[in-house]
């Protein structure tokens, strides 16, 4: 039996891109049952354009539309939270206003959920394009430098082990079961919505990935969250940057996830709870490093020898950052 799909479409001044995205949603071979549109204080005609494009596609009688118009912007994460709370069907597809879905995307992804009752969240690669949908000759996973070992770990059910090091889940490529909201709501103040959903899916059920690019992911000057492969110069600049408050923020994120996992009514696998406890300890170590680079050297080398940078961060890249950052 085909699972019914809701689309959580979040917009903010997206008039120049919205018609193409809405058309790509409304011409899928598996039509969604509803679109929940949450507009975050747009000053353009984004909402009217969604209505008009749906009418032009002839789907107004088959695809329900629910609209929220936020007079005061909520921000990306709260806007998506508002949208997904209102979604009524078993699968929820997240949608930004500036991308384009490939034909057959929904049926391909819904089929994975139909075949696997344990699957909570599925995300995919994406083709990177410019504002005019011209290919940039790269994909999202290439920009993220996704490694074969990470994909293999996800495939064998160890997605949480991968996400302990870094996030790979991009909301624009994501479909998840509505039941995931039982553990994910309310979204943490410390997390972006897609990262939070990925972490909860991987720790309480199964998260998987398709390496096929199933959307065109626009890169333009107004992306709220975009994707670009960092150059060596970018990495060096980041490593030499000021420590600022980013390590404190990462500690708060790690603690917020641990608090949620410990508060859930159904037990989380002990290995993931223990791993998150150790992640919190590692982030606390990094946040507490002294301002002096020289004084950081021995503590960082000791932490590295224990393998914690490899398990809970980006390995050598994170070590270099902790050694080179300005205090």
- Per residue in 139-161, pLDDT tens? 999 999 999 999 999 999 999 99
**Domain shared by 165 and 286, yes or no:** no
- Please state, in angstroms and rounded to a whole number, the distance separating the CA atoms of residues 116 and 120: 9
Specify the pLDDT at position 327. Answer: 79
pLDDT interval class at 223 (50, 70, 90) = very low
- Taking each helix axis from N to C end, the angle separating 76-86 and 193-204, rounded to the nearest 10 degrees, works out to 60
**Domain shared by 213 and 242, yes or no:** no
**Domain shared by 268 and 159, yes or no:** no
Best CA proximity match to 145, nearest among 298, 314, 21, 265? 314
Domain boundary pick from 218, 246, 264: 218
**Domain shared by 199 and 300, yes or no:** no
**Domain shared by 239 and 136, yes or no:** no
Q: Is the pLDDT of residue 92 over 90?
A: yes
Residue 282 near residue 303 (C-beta atoms within 8 A): yes
**Domain shared by 34 and 120, yes or no:** yes
Task: Please count the CA atoms within 13 angstroms of the CA of 91 that sit on its side-chain side.
Answer: 26
Single pTM value for the model: 0.93
pLDDT interval class at 239 (50, 70, 90) = low
Burial class (CB in 10 A: 0-12, 13-18, 19+), 270: exposed
114 domain residue, yes or no:
yes
Q: Is the pLDDT of residue 241 over 80?
A: no
Domain boundary pick from 167, 184, 218: 218
The tokens of 84 are what?
């997904």
- Please state, in angstroms and rounded to a whole number, the distance separating the CA atoms of residues 11 and 140: 21
**Domain shared by 169 and 79, yes or no:** yes
pLDDT in tens, 171-188: 999 999 999 999 999 999
- Please state, in angstroms and rounded to a whole number, the distance separating the CA atoms of residues 231 and 296: 26
Task: Please count the CA atoms within 13 angstroms of the CA of 51 that sit on its side-chain side.
Answer: 9
The tokens of 226 are what?
């975009």
The gap between the terminal CA atoms of the chain, to the nearest Å, is 57
Domain boundary pick from 218, 253, 275: 218
Report the range of poorest mean pLDDT among 133-147, 219-233, 288-302. 219-233
**Domain shared by 184 and 51, yes or no:** yes
In the chain, how many domains are there? 2
224 domain residue, yes or no:
no
Specify the pLDDT at position 280. Answer: 98
Percent share of the chain, pLDDT over 70: 94
**Domain shared by 82 and 194, yes or no:** yes
Q: Is the pLDDT of residue 230 over 70?
A: no
Contacts of the segment 105-109: beta carbons below 8 A, 24+ positions apart: 105/28, 105/214, 105/215, 106/5, 106/28, 106/29, 106/30, 106/31, 106/32, 106/175, 107/28, 107/29, 107/30, 108/210, 108/212, 108/214, 109/175, 109/210, 109/214
- Please state, in angstroms and rounded to a whole number, the distance separating the CA atoms of residues 290 and 47: 50
CATH of the domain at 37: 3.90.550.10
Dihedral angle, C-alpha 51, 53, 57, 61, nearest 10 °: 0
Dihedral sign, CA of 75, 231, 202, 243?
negative
Best CA proximity match to 219, nearest among 147, 313, 309, 135? 135
Phi, psi dihedral angles at 64 (to 5 degrees):
-70, 150
What is the enclosing helix (H) or strand (E) of 264?
none
Mean pLDDT of 259-268: 94
Q: Is the pLDDT of residue 87 over 90?
A: yes
**Domain shared by 200 and 255, yes or no:** no
195 domain residue, yes or no:
yes
**Domain shared by 97 and 50, yes or no:** yes
Q: What is the DSSP letter of 326?
A: B
Q: Which residues contact 53 (CB under 8 A, 6 or more apart)?
A: 18, 19, 22, 23, 26
- Please state, in angstroms and rounded to a whole number, the distance separating the CA atoms of residues 199 and 258: 11
**Domain shared by 199 and 247, yes or no:** no
Q: Range of 290's domain?
A: 232-324
Task: Please count the CA atoms within 13 angstroms of the CA of 321 that sit on its side-chain side.
Answer: 19
- Looking at the DSSP assignment, which residues form a beta bridge with residue 34? 6, 64
Cis? peptide before 123, omega within 30° of 0: no
Q: Is the pLDDT of residue 165 over 90?
A: yes
Q: What is the DSSP letter of 325?
A: S
């Amino acid at each position: 039996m085909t699972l019914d799909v809701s689309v959580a479409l979040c917009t903010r001044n997206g008039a120049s891109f919205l018609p193409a995205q809405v058309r790509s949603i409304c011409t899928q071979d598996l039509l969604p049952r509803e679109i929940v549109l949450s507009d975050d204080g747009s000053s353009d005609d984004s909402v009217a354009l969604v209505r008009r494009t749906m009418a032009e596609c002839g789907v107004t009688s088959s695809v329900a539309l629910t609209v929220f118009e936020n007079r005061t912007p909520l921000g990306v994460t709260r806007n998506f939270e508002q949208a997904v709370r209102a979604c009524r069907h078993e699968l929820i597809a997240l949608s930004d206003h500036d991308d384009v879905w490939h034909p057959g995307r929904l049926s391909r992804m819904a089929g994975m959920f139909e075949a696997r009752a344990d699957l909570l969240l599925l995300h995919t690669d994406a083709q990177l394009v410019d504002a005019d949908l011209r290919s940039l000759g790269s994909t999202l996973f290439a920009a993220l430098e996704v490694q074969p070992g990470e994909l293999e770990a996800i495939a064998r059910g160890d997605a949480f082990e991968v996400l302990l090091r870094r996030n790979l889940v991009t909301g624009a490529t994501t479909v998840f079961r509505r039941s995931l909201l039982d553990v994910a709501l309310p979204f943490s103040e410390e997390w972006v919505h897609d990262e939070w959903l990925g972490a909860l899916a991987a720790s309480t059920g199964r998260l998987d990935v398709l390496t096929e690019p199933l959307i065109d992911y626009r890169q333009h000057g107004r992306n709220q969250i975009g994707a670009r492969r960092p150059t060596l110069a970018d990495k060096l600049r980041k490593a030499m940057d000021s420590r600022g408050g980013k390590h404190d923020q990462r500690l708060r994120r790690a603690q917020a996830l641990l608090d949620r996992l410990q508060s859930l009514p159904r037990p989380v696998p002990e290995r993931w709870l223990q791993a998150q406890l150790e992640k919190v300890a590692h982030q606390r170590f990094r946040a507490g490093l002294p301002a002096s680079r020289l004084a950081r050297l021995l503590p960082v080398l000791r932490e590295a020898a224990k393998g914690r940078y490899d398990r809970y961060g980006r390995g050598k890249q994170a070590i270099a950052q902790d050694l080179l950052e300005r205090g």
